[in-house]
Amino acid sequence: MTDDGSGYFFKDTHYSDVLKTRLKDGVEMDSARAMAGYLQSNCSGDLRILDFGGGPGHYFPVIARTYTGGRLAYHSVDIDETHVQFGQDHFHGHDGVSFAVGSVLEPGASHTNQNCIISANTLPHVQSVQPLLHYVRDNASIEYVVFRMLIGNECVQIKKHLLEDQFDAMYASDFQYNNIYTLKYLQWCLGPDWQLDIKDDVFDAERLQQHRLPAQDSDPFYANRVSRPVGQMIFKGDIYMPWRFVIGRRNKHP
């Protein structure tokens, strides 16, 4: 049976631990800073954020330090329950920060009263963004979206086989999606009530050059999964990753 693309996240305990360590050590990822900056420059008023694939909530401290437009509440939803547990322990007693197990493929099960949906580095790796975008379109309480995802000139579904020397279940399990979408497709999903802008990714090429996962040298599962810059482009293994920020605002009707 073909899995829905989330299978490898459950096998990827090294990467899951990397995210927890970032939270514990106060590491500010470039993409977290960029996300916080785009929220600050594009949103106003109180934000009740729902972060799909938010891991243990390591973006929240960066957003909280940056956003001055109003009060913040933050809810991270992730399929990995170890993130939910870690985040709950880390932010214990912190008002307005919460966690739940859930999937961006079933957004209605996670959404309560949030007016701002964010997601970083997760949407390319799920089977489809259509359930999320249709949910956003149909829920008038959602005013903003900010996503870091792959945006190009055509819609491309990419399945990366993750095993170096096993091919029995190729493209049925042990694969990772790296899907690219167009602005036109996102606009088509969201409909005419949404104003969308594509903004540059913000990253430090030198820092990315140094980026390594501890397991990448000894375990082929990781070897083709670490991002590396080639000039101004980011590659992961053989794949060009056109990372962009998508900023969306629901049009206000008088």
CB 160 within 8 A of CB 237: yes
Say whether residue 83 binds ligand SAM (CB under 6 A). yes
Q: Which is nearer to ligand SAM, 10 or 171 (CB)?
A: 10
d(CA 227, CA 231) in angstroms, rounded, equals: 13
Residue 143 — φ and ψ, nearest 5°?
-100, -30
The residue number whose beta carbon is nearest to ligand SAM equals 53
Per CB under 6 A, the list member of 20, 53, 176, 248 interacting with ligand SAM is 53
Q: Residue 165 CB, nearest distance to ligand SAM (Å)?
A: 25
Per CB under 6 A, the list member of 34, 50, 62, 78 interacting with ligand SAM is 78
Q: Residue 251 CB, nearest distance to ligand SAM (Å)?
A: 27
Q: Which is nearer to ligand SAM, 154 or 216 (CB)?
A: 216
- Which residues 15-44 are close enough to bind ligand SAM by CB under 6 A? 19, 29, 31
Closest listed residue to residue 225, CA positions, set 160, 142, 159, 137: 160
CB 222 within 8 A of CB 131: no
Q: How many CB atoms lie within 10 A of CB 45?
A: 11
- Identify the DSSP state of 125: G
Say whether residue 9 binds ligand SAM (CB under 6 A). yes
Say whether residue 120 binds ligand SAM (CB under 6 A). yes
Say whether residue 174 binds ligand SAM (CB under 6 A). no
Q: How far is CA 39 from CA 144, 205, 235, 240, in A?
A: 9, 23, 26, 26
Say whether residue 122 binds ligand SAM (CB under 6 A). yes
Label the pairing between strands 159-161 and 175-177. antiparallel
Say whether residue 179 binds ligand SAM (CB under 6 A). no
Q: Tokens at residue 31, please?
A: 């993409």
Say whether residue 124 binds ligand SAM (CB under 6 A). no
Nearest 10 degrees: Cα torsion 60, 55, 246, 205: 90
Q: Which is nearer to ligand SAM, 24 or 184 (CB)?
A: 24
Q: What binding mask, one character per residue, do residues 125-164 give for ligand SAM by CB under 6 A, x or -?
A: -x--------------------------------------
Residue 57 — φ and ψ, nearest 5°?
90, 25
Q: What binding mask, one character per residue, do residues 99-118 give for ligand SAM by CB under 6 A, x or -?
A: ----xxx-------------
52 sits in which H/E element = strand 47-52
Please report where in the chains the tokens 């729902």 appear, as a residue. 50
Q: Residue 126 CB, nearest distance to ligand SAM (Å)?
A: 5
Q: Give the residues lining the site for ligand SAM (CB under 6 A).
A: 6, 9, 19, 29, 31, 52-55, 77-80, 83, 103-105, 120-122, 126
